[in-house]
Structures are given as structure tokens and as C-alpha cells.
Amino acid sequence: MSRISDCFRHLAARHKTALIGFITAGDPEPGITVPLMHAMADAGADIIELGVPFSDPMADGPVIQRANERALRHGVSLRDVMDMVREFRMGNQDTPVVLMGYLNPVEALGYAAFASQAKDSGVDGVITVDMPPEEAGEYLTAMRSEGVDAIFLLAPTSGQQRISGICKAASGFVYYVSLKGTTGAATPVIGEVAAKVSEIRKHTNLPVGVGFGIKDPESAQAMAQVGDAVIVGSVLVSKIENSLDDPQAITPAVVRILSDMRSAMDLI
């Protein structure tokens, strides 16, 4: 059993929906990331998603693009991100950590080396945005041999056949992108999301996480009634961005919005 499946099983037993919080590793500087991860877990994030900085984040909106640029100014590499997870694991053995990033840094390291270093540092799952299952043969072999969950995205444009194929390749959970757009874009329409999520559930028993465009406790609560996990990123990263002049304020701001979301989700 991976940490991710354990986490979902425990939450399901308590009839709770997972809250997944995303930050870009090394934003705005590398020293803040590990303490912030601990604070997020304490504030009610069940899973932490750590963005791996990339020079060309094609699927991200402006907020996360700028976070990537801030981290890259400090030269934060994929290896550095895995070191951060290793450090986080010294104080937290339970909260699953998922890396989310783009393929080229993984290619530069090599699939096998990446999978083994990820496992070794305490990473539980990996989302590689621009790696569709069609191209993922060797990548999946590497992840599976290390027991790292390969998490794939599904989108409003995904048809039946793709949903079925992707659910077969996926492990850990599947990530439903709730709208046509980039991260942090317009608010998703709850009815459309609900319809697509129930379609996805016909193809898999894996938990379904819903992300993109969830901005506040109200939308988190609404999505919690649809998915098994609510994924929030741009809203957290914008809290970081708003506190660049006052780094002390970053952690409290991120903790406050996460706690508010957690409370709203727990009301259902």
C-alpha cells in the first residue's frame, strides 16, 4: 500500500474529502519550502503537491509561471526538490508528497534514476503534465518498479476511450482538470464537473481529485461534494506572491486559506 492509498482509505473511513495543497518548490526562495510543507500539513492539507520548477510551464497560468521564475532564479533543480522532500520526511512520515512538473527535467535525469531517487527521498507520486500515457511506456515501467504512483490528468475534452486508457495506466489517484484552461483560470462549472467525474468513476475505483480554478472555501466545499480530493494551487501561490515584501507573512497567509478551506469542506 502506498502512502497515497492509505491516506485516501483513512479519509474515506471518516467520510472526508482530501485537501491537496500545491506550492512551487523553492518559491520564493528554497529555505521556506520545507517549513511551509509542515505548516500546510498541520493546517489540514492531506497531501502536499510540490511543483518542480521549469523554464517553460506551458500548462500553467500567470501565477504559477511567476512562481517557477522565482524558484529558478535560485537555480532550484529536480534534485533539489527531491532533497526538500527528504528533509520534510525527517519530520513527517505520513503525509503523502506528490511532485508535479514537466517532462524535460525528468528526461535530463533519466527515468530510472529519477524514479529511484524519488522513491529514496520519500516521494509518493508523480504528475508529469506533458507526458500522456501513449508516450509513457518506459516511464511507467520505471515508476512501477520503484512503487512510485504515476498520476495522470483527465480533462473536459477527454473522451470515453481516453478516460478508460488513462485510468488503466494511473495509480494513486486520477486528477480531473475541471476546466479548459491553465492553472488558476476561471471558476469551473460544478454541474459539468460532477457529470464528468461520475463518467470517470465508471472506469476506475481510484480516487478522483478535482483541481484548476478552485479559489476559495466556497468552491472548495462545492468540489468536495463531487471529488475525492480537492486540489488547490494558484490561490496558495498568490498568497506567497502577495507577501514577497514580508516573507514572515507567507506561512500564516497560506495556513489561513488552507484552514478555511478545510473547515468549509468538513461541514459537508
Which residues sit at the interface with another protein, rule CB under 8 A?
54-62, 65-66, 69, 72, 77-79, 102-109, 129-132, 134-135, 152-159, 162, 166, 177, 180-182, 185
Catalytic residues: 49, 60
**Residue whose CB is less far from another protein, 185 or 190:** 185
With contact defined as beta carbons under 8 Å apart, do 91 and 41 qualify? no
Quote the crossing angle between the two packed helices 78-91 and 111-121, to the nearest 10°. 20
Q: 208 in the Ramachandran plot: left (φ > 0), alpha (ψ -120 to 50) or beta?
A: beta
**Least CB distance from residue 268 to another protein, whole Å?**
28
**Least CB distance from residue 169 to another protein, whole Å?**
12
Give the count of alpha carbons within 13 A of 198, CB side only. Answer: 7
**Residue whose CB is less far from another protein, 92 or 164:** 164
Burial of 150 (0-12, 13-18, 19+ CB in 10 A): buried
Would you say the C-alpha torsion 52, 156, 234, 266 has a positive or negative sign? Answer: negative
**Least CB distance from residue 1 to another protein, whole Å?**
27
Q: Are strands 174-177 and 208-211 parallel, antiparallel or unpaired?
A: parallel
**Least CB distance from residue 180 to another protein, whole Å?**
6
**Residue whose CB is less far from another protein, 61 or 96:** 61
**Residue whose CB is less far from another protein, 40 or 151:** 151
**Residue whose CB is less far from another protein, 72 or 249:** 72
Q: What is the DSSP string of 231-260?
A: EE-HHHHHHHHHTTT-GGGHHHHHHHHHHH
Number of H helices and E strands in the chain, helices first, is 12, 9
**Least CB distance from residue 201 to another protein, whole Å?**
17
